[in-house]
C-alpha cells in the first residue's frame, strides 16, 4: 500500500468546508431526563414516603388543633420542620447524584478523543476521533476502532468485528468486487463506526460522520458503566437490609414501651384526645427512628467515593471504565504486567545492527552500500512495516504506529534513506502483519530496488526467523544455518544481557510465475528459500519511576509477574533492573511461553505462585496464568495492549489496558492507564484501598450514631420520659450522618500509608471485628452519658450549664421515681446539642480510623471536603438552636453553654487521640 503518494487526502480548507457541510464526527448524546423528573424520582425512596405520610399526619393534627382553637398557629411548625427535612434530604441527595453523574460525563468525553491516523495535505497525521470529516482518508490497523463510516480504498487481509452492529464477530472486508459477499448486512467494501479491525490493515475514505453513521443511529449514550453493582455495593446492600430490619424491631419496641408506660402512668377514665395525640407522637418517633437508622447514605457514600476517585484517578492517568474496578484494585494481590511501555519507556532506538550478510560486526558501524544486499535490507525495513514517520517540525520526526518498526524507520532515515520513496515504489503483493503469536512480520513485494524481482521480506524474533531459514548470508556468501547459529546465539545472548530487544531479518526470492501465496493459515509456508541477513538490537530503557513503584507494590504485599513477548534474557535483565528479580531466584521462578503451555494443570497449580517472569509469552498464556492464579484465590490485575489480550483482560478481576493500546483491548479492560506506566497502576491500588477505608470510616461513624440514637430513644420510651430527641431534631441528625458525613468521609484524600498494609481478603467483611468493638463501646458510652443527662433533666431544673451539679448527676442516674417532669425547651436544646456535638467529634475519630496517627494529620488536604462539612454541621447546629424555636423544640443557648458543651463533648476525640497515641503502630486500627 503506497499510501503517501497514492492518496493526498483533504487540505485544511477542504476539511473545514466538509465539516460545515456534513457536520463533525460527534454523536449527539441522547436526551437527558429533565432535572425535575430526576428530583421527583428521589421521592420513590420508601423512607421518604414514610416521612411524607408522617408529614401529612402531622399536618392534619396541626389543622385539627388549630381550627378547634386548642393551639395557636405555632402547631404548624412541626409539619413545616418535617417538610424542610424531607426537602433537604431529597435535595442534597439529588445534588450529589447529579455531580457524580457529571463526573462520569466528563470521563466519557475523554473516551471520544482517541487518536486516528488520517492522510491530510498528502501527509499521514494523527487527529482526534471527533475531528474526522467526510472525505478524510483514514488508515486502519489491527486493533483500531473504525472512527466513522468509510468506503475502503485499499485493504490487506482485512477482518472486522462487526458485533456492535450486526452481531458478526469476524467478517472479511475487501476492495475486490469478485470477493464481495452479497448476503452481508453492510457492503463488503464499507467499514462502519464502532466496529474494530481484528486483522490486516486498510485505507478508507470517510462517507458518513457523527449521527449519520450506522452506529450513530443506534447510539444510546454513555459507555462508562456506572450502573453496575460492585461487590462492595452488594455487601453494603445486605448490610443496609440488616440494619433496616433491626430498625423495624427497635421501632416496634418503642411503640410497645411507650404504650406500656402510658397506661401505667394514666389511670382510667382515659382522655381519648390525649391518647390520640400520644399515639400519633409515638408513631412519629417510631417512624423517625427508622428514618434515622436506615443507612440511605451507605450506597451514596460508595457512589460518591467512586465518582470522586474516578475523577482524581484520571488526574493520576487512570481512566476508569468500569466503576467496580476502583475498589477491586484495592483488593488486588497479583499484578501481571507487560514489559514494553509499562516497565520500559517504549522509546525504542536502534542500538546496534549486525548484518552478517554485509560482513558486519558489532564494533564496525554499518554503512549501507549500493550493493544488492544493502538494498534488500533497506527495502525490508521500509516495506515490511506498518509504521510511518510524521514530520512534526523540520527537525523532528514522530513515529506513528508500532514503535519497534518506527525505530527501524528512524534508523534508516539517519542513514540518509527515504523510506517513503522506497515504500511507495515497491508494489505490495501480500502481507502478514506483526502479531505477538507469530512474533514475526512478512511482506511480499514486486521489488523497486531490484526491478523485475519478487521478494519476500521477513523480520521478527531472531530465533524464530532463523528457524525459518536454511541459509545465512555471511559477507555475501551463503552458509548453512547450523554452521553459524552458535555464533548468532552468543551475540543475541550478549544483547539480551544488556536488556536489548532483538530482531532477526531474512529474505527470499520468489518465483513470480508461480502464482502461489507465501502464506498458509496465517503463517509462512514451509520450505521457502529464506536467507538470514542479520540482527538488530534495539534499546528501550526502564522508566526511571518504575523501581520505586515496584517496591511500593511489593511492600503492599502485592506479587508482580512480568508476562512479555520478549526473550528470557531481556526480560530477566529488565526484572533485575527494576529490582523484581532477586539473586536467589532460580529457573523455578521463570518460564517461557512454550514451556508454560506444556505444564499440566497440576504442575501449573504447584508453580504458578512462584513464577516471576513468563517470557516469549503468547496472549493465551496470559489468560491461562490469570485463571490459574484466580483458582489459587488471588485477586488478579492484568495489563494488556493488544487485541489478543482481550480474553486475559476479561478474565482478570481488573483488566488494565494501555493508553496507546488497541481499542479492542481498551474495550475489554476496566481501567485504561493513559500514560502506560506501572507507577499509575501502583496509584490505582492506593486509590482502591483508600476508597475501601473511607467507606469503612463512614460505616463506623454511622453505626455508632445508630446505636446511640436508637438506644437513647428506646430507653426514653421505656422510662416513660418524653422522647429526648424530637422528630425534627432526629431528622437533622439523619441529615448529618447520612448526607454530610458521607460527603466528608467519602472525600478524604487517598493515603500513602495504605500501601504499607497487606491486601485485604477478597471475601473479608467490610465491618471488621475491631470496628464492631468500637461501634459498640463508643455507642454505649454515648448512651450512658446521654441517659445520665436525660435523668438529670427529668429530676432537676437547670437554666445554665454552669449550675451543673456532678453529685446530683450521679444520684439521678440511678433514680427511678415517678416525680420526674418533662424537659423544658432549654433542656431539650442542651440534650440535642450534646448529641450532635458528640457525633461531630466522633467524625474526627472515624477519619483517623486505620491511619497511623492523629485525626488532625493531613487535615490541610481536606479543607474543601471534611473540614468544610464539619463547619457546616456546627454552623447548622448554631442556627437551629438559635432560630429553630418551636419547630426544632429548642431555645437559644448562652456562650458559656456552648463552650462547656464543646469542651465536654470533645473528650470523645481526645480520648480517641490518646488511645491512638498509645496503641503500637503495627496494630493501629483505632
Ligand atoms: P510485551 O509483551 O511485554 O509488551 P514485547 O513487546 O517485547 O513485550 P512482543 O511485542 O510480543 O513483546 O514482541 C515479541 C518479539 O517479537 C520481540 O522480542 C521482537 O523480537 C519481535 N517483534 C516485536 N515487534 C515486532 C515487529 N513489529 N515486527 C517484527 N517482529 C517484532
Q: What b-and-e string marks burial along 629-640, b requiring 16 or more CB atoms within 10 Å of the CB?
A: bbeeebbbbbbb
Q: What is the pLDDT of residue 100?
A: 60
Cell of 716: 426514653
- Check the CA dihedral 576-578-584-587 and report its sign: negative
Ligand 1 centroid – CA 109 distance (Å): 32
Ligand 1 atom nearest residue 462's Cα: 20
Contacts of 608 (CB under 8 A, 6+ apart): 625, 628, 629, 632
The runs of H, that is alpha helices, within 401-480 are 403-414, 419-425, 462-468
Contact assessment for residue 75 and residue 66, using Cβ atoms and an 8 Å cutoff: yes
Ligand 1 centroid – CA 503 distance (Å): 8
Q: Rounded distance, CA 581 to CA 567, Å?
A: 15
Ligand 1: residue whose CA is nearest its atom 9: 565
Where does residue 535 fall: left (phi above 0), alpha (psi -120 to 50 degrees), or beta otherwise? Answer: beta
Ligand 1 centroid – CA 584 distance (Å): 28
Q: Write the CA distances from 311 to 95, 109, 314, integer angstroms.
A: 17, 13, 5
Ligand 1: residue whose CA is nearest its atom 13: 565
Cβ of 194 below 6 Å from ligand 1: no
For ligand 1, pick from 439, 580, 643 the residue to mutate: most ligand atoms within 8 Å of CB: 439
Cβ of 402 below 6 Å from ligand 1: yes
Q: Rounded distance, CA 786 to CA 725, Å?
A: 11
Q: What b-and-e string marks burial along 324-340, b requiring 16 or more CB atoms within 10 Å of the CB?
A: bbbbbbbbbbbbbbbbb
Q: Rounded distance, CA 727 to CA 184, Å?
A: 67
Query: What is 655-686 written as a DSSP string?
Result: EEEETTS-HHHHHH-SEEETT--HHHHHHHHH
Ligand 1 atom nearest residue 459's Cα: 29
- Check the CA dihedral 569-575-577-583 and report its sign: negative
Ligand 1 centroid – CA 174 distance (Å): 28
Cell of 348: 525504542
Classify residue 819 as exposed, middle or buried by CB count within 10 Å of its CB (0-12, 13-18, 19+).
Answer: exposed
Cβ of 689 below 6 Å from ligand 1: no
| Beta-bridge mates of residue 637 | 335, 654
For ligand 1, pick from 344, 565, 658 the residue to mutate: most ligand atoms within 8 Å of CB: 565
Cell of 178: 469478485
| Strands in 238-348 per DSSP E | 318-320, 334-337
Contact assessment for residue 680 and residue 659, using Cβ atoms and an 8 Å cutoff: no
Q: Rounded distance, CA 246 to CA 254, Å?
A: 12
| Beta-bridge mates of residue 152 | 204
Contacts of 604 (CB under 8 A, 6+ apart): 596, 624, 628
Cβ of 661 below 6 Å from ligand 1: no
Q: What is the pLDDT of residue 924?
A: 45
Q: Rounded distance, CA 360 to CA 369, Å?
A: 12
What are the φ and ψ backbone dihedral angles of 617, each rounded to 5 degrees? -80, 150
Cell of 615: 517470557
Ligand 1 centroid – CA 295 distance (Å): 53
Cβ of 613 below 6 Å from ligand 1: no
Whether 338 is catalytic: yes
Ligand 1 centroid – CA 21 distance (Å): 44
Ligand 1 atom nearest residue 567's Cα: 18
Ligand 1 centroid – CA 158 distance (Å): 22
Contact assessment for residue 330 and residue 687, using Cβ atoms and an 8 Å cutoff: yes
Q: Rounded distance, CA 769 to CA 776, Å?
A: 11
Cβ of 434 below 6 Å from ligand 1: yes
Cell of 569: 534474557
Cβ of 405 below 6 Å from ligand 1: yes
For the entire predicted model, the pTM comes to 0.77
Q: Rounded distance, CA 698 to CA 732, Å?
A: 17
User: Taking the CA of residue 474 as centre, how many other CA atoms within 13 Å lie in the half-sphere pointing to its CB?
Assistant: 13
Number of C-beta neighbours around residue 372 at 10 A:
13
Ligand 1: residue whose CA is nearest its atom 31: 460
For ligand 1, pick from 382, 386, 460, 621 the residue to mutate: most ligand atoms within 8 Å of CB: 460
DSSP single-letter state for residue 344: B
Cell of 128: 482526534
Closest CA to 852 of 693, 655, 732: 693
Ligand 1 centroid – CA 336 distance (Å): 17
Cell of 372: 544488492
DSSP single-letter state for residue 740: I
Contacts of 240 (CB under 8 A, 6+ apart): 294, 295, 298, 299
Catalytic residue among 2, 338, 360, 812: 338
β pairing state of 671-673 and 654-658: parallel
Q: Rounded distance, CA 603 to CA 595, Å?
A: 11
Ligand 1: residue whose CA is nearest its atom 20: 461
Cβ of 792 below 6 Å from ligand 1: no
Q: What share of the chain is helix, strand, coil (3-state, %, to 5)?
A: 55, 15, 30
Cβ of 439 below 6 Å from ligand 1: yes
Number of C-beta neighbours around residue 255 at 10 A:
16
Query: What is 57-109 written as a DSSP string?
Result: HHHHHHHHHHHTTSS-GGGGHHHHHHHHHHHHHHHHHHHHHHHHHHHHHHHHH
| Beta-bridge mates of residue 197 | 160
Ligand 1 centroid – CA 496 distance (Å): 13
What are the φ and ψ backbone dihedral angles of 159, each rounded to 5 degrees? -120, 130
Q: What is the pLDDT of residue 562?
A: 95
Contact assessment for residue 702 and residue 295, using Cβ atoms and an 8 Å cutoff: yes
First-residue to last-residue Cα distance in the chain:
67
Contact assessment for residue 670 and residue 650, using Cβ atoms and an 8 Å cutoff: no
Ligand 1 centroid – CA 24 distance (Å): 37
Q: Rounded distance, CA 794 to CA 821, Å?
A: 5
Contact assessment for residue 690 and residue 672, using Cβ atoms and an 8 Å cutoff: no
Contact assessment for residue 538 and residue 461, using Cβ atoms and an 8 Å cutoff: no
For ligand 1, pick from 406, 501, 643 the residue to mutate: most ligand atoms within 8 Å of CB: 501
Cβ of 621 below 6 Å from ligand 1: no
Cβ of 360 below 6 Å from ligand 1: no
Cell of 393: 517540525
Q: Rounded distance, CA 519 to CA 671, Å?
A: 37
Cβ of 618 below 6 Å from ligand 1: no
DSSP single-letter state for residue 529: -
Tell me which H or E stretch contains 283. helix 272-293
Ligand 1 centroid – CA 404 distance (Å): 8
Cell of 69: 382553637
Tell me which H or E stretch contains 531. strand 531-539
Number of C-beta neighbours around residue 520 at 10 A:
10
Q: What is the pLDDT of residue 145?
A: 86
Cβ of 257 below 6 Å from ligand 1: no
- Check the CA dihedral 201-207-210-214 and report its sign: negative
Q: Rounded distance, CA 533 to CA 379, Å?
A: 13
Ligand 1 atom nearest residue 562's Cα: 3
Q: What is the pLDDT of residue 224?
A: 44
Ligand 1 centroid – CA 344 distance (Å): 13
Ligand 1: residue whose CA is nearest its atom 29: 460
Q: Rounded distance, CA 263 to CA 259, Å?
A: 6
Cβ of 593 below 6 Å from ligand 1: no
Cβ of 566 below 6 Å from ligand 1: yes
| Coil, helix or strand at residue 653 | coil
Query: Which parts of the chain register pLDDT below 70?
Result: 1-6, 30-32, 45-47, 89, 92-93, 96-97, 99-113, 219-231, 233-234, 268, 296-297, 299-301, 359-370, 720-722, 762, 852, 920-926
β pairing state of 388-393 and 613-615: unpaired
Q: Rounded distance, CA 676 to CA 672, Å?
A: 8
Contact assessment for residue 613 and residue 575, using Cβ atoms and an 8 Å cutoff: yes
Ligand 1 atom nearest residue 502's Cα: 20
Amino acid at each position: 500500500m503506497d499510501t503517501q503518494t497514492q492518496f493526498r487526502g483533504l487540505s485544511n480548507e477542504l476539511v473545514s468546508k466538509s465539516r460545515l457541510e456534513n457536520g463533525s464526527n460527534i454523536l449527539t448524546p441522547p436526551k437527558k431526563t429533565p432535572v425535575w423528573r430526576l428530583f421527583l424520582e428521589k421521592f420513590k425512596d420508601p423512607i421518604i414516603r414514610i416521612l411524607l405520610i408522617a408529614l401529612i399526619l402531622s399536618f392534619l393534627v396541626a389543622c385539627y388543633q388549630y381550627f378547634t382553637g386548642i393551639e395557636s398557629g405555632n402547631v404548624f411548625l412541626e409539619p413545616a420542620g418535617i417538610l424542610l427535612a424531607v426537602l433537604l434530604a431529597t435535595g442534597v441527595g439529588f445534588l450529589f447524584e447529579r455531580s457524580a453523574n457529571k463526573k462520569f460525563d466528563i470521563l466519557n468525553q475523554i473516551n471520544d478523543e482517541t487518536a486516528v491516523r488520517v492522510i491530510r495535505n498528502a501527509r499521514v497525521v494523527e487527529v482526534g476521533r471527533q475531528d474526522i470529516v467526510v472525505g478524510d482518508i483514514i488508515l486502519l490497523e489491527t486493533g483500531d476502532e473504525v472512527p466513522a463510516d468509510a468506503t475502503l480504498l485499499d485493504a490487506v487481509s482485512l477482518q472486522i468485528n462487526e458485533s456492535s452492529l450486526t452481531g458478526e464477530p469476524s467478517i472479511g472486508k475487501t476492495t475486490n468486487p469478485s470477493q464481495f459477499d452479497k448476503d452481508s448486512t453492510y457492503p463488503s467494501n464499507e467499514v462502519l463506526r464502532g466496529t474494530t479491525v481484528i486483522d490486516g490493515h486498510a485505507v478508507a475514505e470517510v462517507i458518513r460522520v457523527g449521527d449519520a453513521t450506522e452506529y450513530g443511529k443506534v447510539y444510546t449514550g454513555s459507555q462508562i458503566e456506572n450502573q453496575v453493582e460492585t461487590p462492595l455495593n452488594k455487601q453494603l446492600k445486605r448490610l443496609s437490609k440488616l440494619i433496616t430490619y433491626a430498625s423495624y424491631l427497635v421501632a416496634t419496641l418503642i411503640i410497645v414501651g411507650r404504650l406500656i408506660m402510658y397506661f401505667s402512668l394514666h389511670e382510667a377514665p382515659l382522655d381519648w384526645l390525649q391518647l390520640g395525640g400520644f399515639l400519633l407522637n409515638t408513631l412519629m418517633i417510631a417512624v423517625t427512628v427508622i428514618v434515622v437508622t436506615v443507612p440511605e447514605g451507605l450506597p451514596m457514600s460508595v457512589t460518591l467515593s467512586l465518582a470522586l476517585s474516578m475523577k482524581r484517578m484520571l488526574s493520576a492517568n487512570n481512566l476508569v471504565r468500569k466503576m467496580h474496578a476502583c475498589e477491586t484494585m484495592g483488593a488486588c494481590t497479583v499484578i501481571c504486567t507487560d514489559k514494553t511501555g509499562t516497565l520500559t519507556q517504549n522509546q525504542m532506538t536502534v542500538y546496534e545492527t549486525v548484518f552478517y550478510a554485509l560482513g558486519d560486526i558489532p564494533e564496525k558501524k554499518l554503512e549501507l552500500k549500493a550493493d544488492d544486499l544493502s538494498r534488500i535490507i533497506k527495502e525490508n525495513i521500509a516495506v515490511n512495516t506498518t509504521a510511518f514517520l510524521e514530520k512534526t517540525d523540520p527537525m523532528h520526526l514522530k513515529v506513528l504506529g508500532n514503535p519497534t518498526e518506527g525505530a527501524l524507520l528512524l534508523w534508516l532515515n539517519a542513514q540518509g534513506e527515504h523510506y517513503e520513496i522506497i515504500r511507495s515504489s515497491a508494489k505490495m503483493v501480500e502481507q502478514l502483519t506483526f502479531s505477538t503469536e507469530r512474533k514475526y512480520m512478512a511482506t511480499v513485494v514486486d521489488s523497486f530496488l531490484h526491478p523485475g524481482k519478487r521478494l519476500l521480506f521477513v523480520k521478527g524474533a531472531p530465533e524464530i526467523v532463523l528457524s525459518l531459514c536454511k541459509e545465512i548470508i555471511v559477507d555475501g556468501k551463503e552458509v548453512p544455518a547450523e554452521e553459524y547459529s552458535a555464533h548468532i546465539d552468543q551475540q543475541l545472548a550478549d544483547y539480551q544481557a544488556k536488556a536489548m530487544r532483538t530482531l532477526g531479518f531474512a529474505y527470499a526470492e520468489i518465483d513470480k510465475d508461480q502464482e502461489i501465496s507465501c502464506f498458509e493459515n496465517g503463517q509462512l509456508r514451509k520450505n521457502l528459500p529464506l536467507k538470514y541477513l542479520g540482527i538488530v538490537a534495539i534499546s528501550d530503557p526502564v522508566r526511571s519511576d518504575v523501581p520505586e513503584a515496584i517496591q511500593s507494590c511489593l511492600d503492599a504485599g502485592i506479587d508482580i509477574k512480568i508476562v512479555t513477548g520478549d526473550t528470557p534474557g531481556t526480560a530477566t535483565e529488565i526484572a533485575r533492573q527494576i529490582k523484581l528479580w532477586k539473586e536467589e531466584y532460580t529457573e523455578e521462578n521463570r518460564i517461557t511461553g512454550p514451556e508454560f503451555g506444556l505444564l499440566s494443570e497440576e504442575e501449573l497449580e504447584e508453580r504458578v505462585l512462584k513464577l516471576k517472569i513468563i517470557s516469549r509469552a503468547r496472549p493465551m498464556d496470559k489468560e491461562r496464568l490469570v485463571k490459574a492464579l484466580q483458582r489459587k484465590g488471588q485477586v488478579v490485575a492484568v495489563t494488556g495492549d493488544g487485541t489478543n489480550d482481550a480474553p486475559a483482560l476479561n478474565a482478570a478481576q481488573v483488566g488494565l489496558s494501555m493508553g496507546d493500546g488497541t481499542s479492542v483491548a481498551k474495550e475489554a479492560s476496566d481501567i485504561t492507564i493513559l500514560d502506560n506506566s506501572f507507577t499509575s497502576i501502583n496509584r490505582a491500588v492506593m486509590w482502591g484501598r483508600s476508597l475501601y477505608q473511607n467507606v469503612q470510616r463512614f460505616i463506623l461513624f454511622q453505626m455508632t450514631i445508630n446505636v446511640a440514637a436508637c438506644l437513647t430513644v428506646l430507653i426514653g420510651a421505656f422510662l416513660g420520659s418524653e422522647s429526648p430527641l424530637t422528630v425534627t431534631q432526629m431528622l437533622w441528625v439523619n441529615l448529618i450522618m447520612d448526607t454530610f458525613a458521607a460527603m466528608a468521609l467519602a472525600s478524604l484524600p487517598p493515603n500513602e500509608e495504605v500501601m504499607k498494609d497487606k491486601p485485604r481478603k477478597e471475601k473479608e467483611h467490610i465491618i471488621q471485628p475491631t470496628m464492631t468493638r468500637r461501634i459498640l463501646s463508643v455507642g454505649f458510652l454515648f448512651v450512658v452519658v446521654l441517659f445520665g443527662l436525660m435523668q438529670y433533666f427529668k429530676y432537676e431544673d437547670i437554666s445554665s450549664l454552669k449550675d451543673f451539679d456532678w453529685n446530683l448527676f450521679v444520684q439521678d442516674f440511678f433514680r427511678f421515681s415517678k416525680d420526674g417532669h418533662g424537659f423544658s425547651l432549654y433542656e431539650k436544646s442542651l440534650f440535642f446539642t450534646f448529641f450532635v456535638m458528640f457525633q461531630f467529634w466522633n467524625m474526627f475519630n472515624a477519619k483517623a480510623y486505620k491511619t497511623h496517627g492523629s485525626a488532625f494529620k493531613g487535615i490541610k488536604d481536606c479543607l474543601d471536603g471534611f473540614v468544610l462539612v464539619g463547619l457546616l454541621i456546627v454552623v447548622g447546629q448554631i442556627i437551629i438552636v438559635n432560630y429553630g424555636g418551636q419547630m426544632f423544640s429548642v431555645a437559644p443557648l448562652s456562650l458559656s453553654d456552648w463552650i462547656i458543651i464543646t469542651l465536654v463533648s470533645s473528650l470523645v476525640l481526645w480520648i480517641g487521640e490518646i488511645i491512638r497515641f498509645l496503641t503500637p503502630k503495627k496494630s493501629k486500627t483505632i
